Each structure stands twice: as C-alpha cells, then as structure tokens.
A and B are shown apart, each in its own frame.
Chain A
C-alpha cells in the first residue's frame, strides 16, 4: 500500500521502476502466505524480474523524469474513487473469504481435488488443471504469448521495411502516379 502510494507520488521514473519491483515482490509474499505458490512464483519472476528489466531498458531509451501534468488530477481522482466505491460495494454480495459454502467450492473444484490423483496422477493439482483439464485455455494463452512475441518482433525489429523494399515501394507509387497522369 505504501509502495503503491509512493509510486503514484514520485516523479523520478527510475525510483518508480524499482518500487514497482518491490511491490511485485511484496505481492508474491502475500500470495505465498495465501498458499498460492504457483502464482507467487509467476509474480516474483515476471513482475519483479523481467518487467523491471524491460522498464529499465525503456528508461534508457527515454527520459528518467516524468513531466508535470498541465491539468489538475481532480477529475481522474473522482472517477477512480467512484469506481473503487462501486467495486467495494459489489464485494458485499460475494461470499466471505474462506466460506466453505461459496459457489466456487462446489462447481468443479471438489472433482479436481478428489479425482485428479487417480485421473491424472500428478501431485500438483495446479499443473493437472492447467495442462490437462484446461488444456485448451493454456493452448490459447501460449498462442497469446506467441502473438505478443511476433508483434514485438514485427514492430521493433524494423526488418519489414528494409532500404531496398522502401525504395522499390517509393518507385512503385511514383510509377502509379505517372500512370494516373497519362490517363488524365
């Protein structure tokens, strides 16, 4: 909480990146306390590790200081507070944390817990749900990551518009406009 507030207040982006790494690490600790070890693992590796490095790489290309915004932050603040209040209001209808009669504990979770030992034979239920019961979802996620990688590759590599290709494209448009002139 303190880390998040500091991230909002600070204008030095280097410190912001470091603090967001610390924030991710703290979130990973919370996930570990909640016994969600796999999620904590991902949060620590991606949030605190890779994204911090990528942010630093971006900072090296841009500036380290955030410019002061021209307008007052009053309207965004009101929007955020109202949305937050609505979301908090919505949680009152939800079952209490750890409530054994909550719907989520009665749909497919009991079958995963009781049957996956015989059906899949893998001690880590998270893995068996992720890779076997929800195989399609995971395939979709991998496809999303694949698409993201291809997108970054296409946008940032600059391989698509080589000098030769650009020159020939220019020549083609010139030829086309020439043809247009002849027709008129």
Chain B
C-alpha cells in the first residue's frame, strides 16, 4: 500500500487523533467508558495502521521490536509494583487506600497507575503479535 496516495494522506491525518483518543480513553477511564485495556488496543491500532500503510520497515524503525518487548514486561511490573508499594507501607497487596493522604485519593492514584500498567502491556503485546505475524513471510 506504499504508493497509494489516499490511504497515506488519510492515515497521516487520522493517526494523531487515534493516539490522542487512546490517551483520552486511558486517562479518562475513571469518568467515562474505557480504561487501560481499551486504550492499549486503540494505541496499538494506531501503530498497526501506520505499519499497514507505510510499510513494516518504517514502523519497525519508529518503534523497534526490542523496545516493545521490553514494554510488555514494564506494564506488568508497574501493576505488580503498585501492589508491592502498598505492601511496603503496611497494607494488603493491591490495597490502594494507603497510597494517598486519604483513602479516596489513594484509590484514585492506585487505579491510575494500575490502568497505566494494563495499557502499556496490552498495547505492547498487540504490536508485538502484529510484528510477528506480519514479519513472518519475509525472513
């Protein structure tokens, strides 16, 4: 699809908005529909669209597979790290009440970081699976 003008122009226009929408779903998940999982998928979809239109090689240059595979682990580590953080301040694992100066604030903070971890892992896994499938026939 590298030489088709219309998909190139349209996707160039769309990708920033898809990424922005992904971020909105990620950080506004507490107040509206959405959350880490959906945001991760939308974020990954933007990169997959880029790879489909501009070629796998340029996508790999922009987002190296080694970096993405590190991100898979980083997301899970953020999630479990929140759990260990609440363990460190004498509370149960994944008990967010102690993470802020009052329980509600702590819950907000805990949910924010947990959802961030979910989002990072999900988007990294999706992009990795796509890289693996798309790059299969070439080498």
Contacts and interface: CB of A to CB of B under 8 A. Distances in A.
Interface of A: 37-38, 40-42, 45-46, 49-50, 53-54, 57-58, 60-61, 118-124, 126-128, 130-132, 135-136, 138-139, 142-143, 145-146, 148-150, 152-153, 156-158
24 contacts: A38-B38, A41-B25, A41-B33, A41-B38, A45-B45, A49-B41, A53-B48, A54-B133, A57-B134, A58-B133, A121-B104, A122-B30, A124-B29, A126-B35, A127-B30, A130-B35, A131-B110, A132-B96, A138-B118, A146-B72, A146-B75, A149-B129, A153-B128, A158-B139
Which of A61, A143, A153 lies at the interface centre, i.e. has the most chain B CB atoms within 10 A of its CB?
Answer: A153
Nearest to B52: A53
Given A41-B34, A122-B108, A152 B128 contact: yes
A139 B126 contact: no
Contacts of A127: 29-30, 35, 111, 115
Contact of A38 (B34, B108, B134): B34
Contacts of B45: 45, 49-50, 53
B136 interface: yes
Interface string B49-82: 0001000000000000000010011011001100
B117 A57 contact: no
A139 B79 contact: yes
B132 interface: yes
Given A42-B37, A119-B107, A132-B110, A54 B80 contact: no
A175 B118 CA distance: 48
Interface string B99-139: 00001110110110011011001101110111011101101
A50 B48 contact: yes
A128 B107 CA distance: 9
A145 B137 contact: no
Contact of A128 (B105, B111, B130): B111
Contacts of A58: 133
Contacts of B134: 57
Contacts of A60: 137
Contacts of A38: 33-35, 38
A152 B42 CA distance: 20
